[in-house]
Amino acid sequence: MNKKAKQIIGSFNQNFDSVIGLAEFDQLVLASAIQSIENIKILQDKHLGFEHPKYRLDACLDRLKKIRENDSLRIAYKTISNQCVVLLVSYFDSAVSDLFEMYLKYFMENTPNENLLKEDIKLTIEELKEIDFNLKDKFIETFSNKKSISFQDMQSISRAFKKYIDVDVDLVKDEITNTIILAQACRHAIVHDGSILNSKVIRQVSNANPRMIKEELAEGKGVEFDIDEIRTIGKCMEAYMARLCEKIDSNILTKVKI
């Protein structure tokens, strides 16, 4: 994998880590509180000599540990967990868009395909002014915007790479791709329908089998994600981008440094 692609995927991984940190926020808070109380308890035992149960912190410490062990606060954090999926899908969208523009820049400068050469874009003087009339350096971004190329679902991603970069990214419709399809569909439900699954979402995921999470979904039901499912989604996204770059590099850019 070339250096720029590694940087793009590395940036996604950093964002992925931040999402996991958000998803685990309740555990981090509990761990901090438990550690602080344990430190105070040590002082009580060694120096202060508090013996009466009224002044001890044992019961408070036990309650906090049970909350952590039973994950009792998780139900209160279900909205945050679902929003973590929304964030992951957005970060994936952005990373795939960056990869597309990186590879498209290479083709524009070296061997653009027939579809790319036949495309036309129309710009107003105002639009040219917004990019300081620097169309050469801003062309890729301008092209993507004018063509309304979307990376919010796997079908659109496949279409863009196949049409403009001559690469069929549907290597295999396996559990990695299907898990991302599920996350993208559920993102729409979370953002637009209060996490309730409608018929459109069910249709979108009906053929996304096998997948690693949520094999059973029902129309009209709510969807909730846990920390393990969030991790699985992020790892699938990372794996998808890695093999996308590997396929493009091996098939087209074998001897070319981007």
Whether the predicted pLDDT of 185 surpasses 90 = yes
Which structural domain, as residue segments, surrounds residue 231?
78-251
User: Is 233 a domain residue?
Assistant: yes
User: Is 38 a domain residue?
Assistant: no
* 121-163 tens-digit pLDDT: 788 888 888 878 877 777 777 777 777 788 888 988 988 888 8
User: Is 115 a domain residue?
Assistant: yes
**Residue corresponding to tokens 């793009």:** 8
* 68-105 tens-digit pLDDT: 666 666 666 678 889 999 999 999 999 999 999 888 88
Residues 246, 139: Cα–Cα separation, whole Å? 25
Count of the separate structural domains present in the chain: 1
Q: How many C-beta atoms lie closer than 10 Å to residue 112's C-beta?
A: 17
Q: What is residue 168's predicted lDDT score, i.e. its pLDDT? A: 79
User: Is 24 a domain residue?
Assistant: no
User: Is 124 a domain residue?
Assistant: yes
Alpha-helical regions (H) of 110-226: 114-118, 125-130, 135-146, 154-165, 175-192, 199-205
Burial class (CB in 10 A: 0-12, 13-18, 19+), 193: middle
The whole model's pTM is what? 0.78
User: Is 172 a domain residue?
Assistant: yes
Whether the predicted pLDDT of 192 surpasses 60 = yes
User: Is 33 a domain residue?
Assistant: no
Structure tokens at 171: 């290597």
